[in-house]
Amino acid sequence: MSNPASPNQRLFSIGQVHAITGIPKPTLRFWEKEFVNYLKPYRTPGNQRRYDETSIERIRRINQLVHKEGYTLEGARRKLEAEEAAKEAAEAAIPGIEEEHLKQLAETMSDYLLRKLFDRTKLSEEG
């Protein structure tokens, strides 16, 4: 990636990412080559890497798979590709489902709270 999606987006140098994640800089460079389709830091005009928040989350996910869950690099790559494909398929299959689900949840909660309030009011009037 050459430019960030948003000019207001905070970008981090490789040294800052190392400080944030604890992952050595050579490992970050290596993972950039190994996970070409998943980890793409931006580049400055001087060709320095700049990572956004999404990149840092992806680095943490790679670290979790490789160092905590015991995946090989190839296994981690396949797992990440499968996760991305599933996410894209879900988003494409039912656009706006999240918003609709939130509306339904809000209505359900509202109904529940109104029933509770009504029940309490009824009890206090009877008592």
Distance CA 126, CA 118 (A): 12
Q: Is domain 1-93 classified as CATH 3.40.50.720?
A: no
Q: Where are the domains of the chain?
A: 1-93, 95-127
Please say if the pLDDT value at position 95 is more than 70: no
Please say if the pLDDT value at position 13 is more than 80: yes
Q: pLDDT per residue over 25-75, tens digit each?
A: 999 999 999 999 899 999 999 999 999 999 999 999 999 999 999 999 999
Amino acid at 69: E
Cβ atoms within 10 A of the Cβ of 110, count?
A: 10
HSE-CB of 112 using CA atoms within 13 angstroms: 6
The more confident residue out of 97 and 110 is 110
Distance CA 56, CA 61 (A): 9
Distance CA 83, CA 80 (A): 5
The more confident residue out of 8 and 12 is 12
Please say if the pLDDT value at position 102 is more than 50: yes
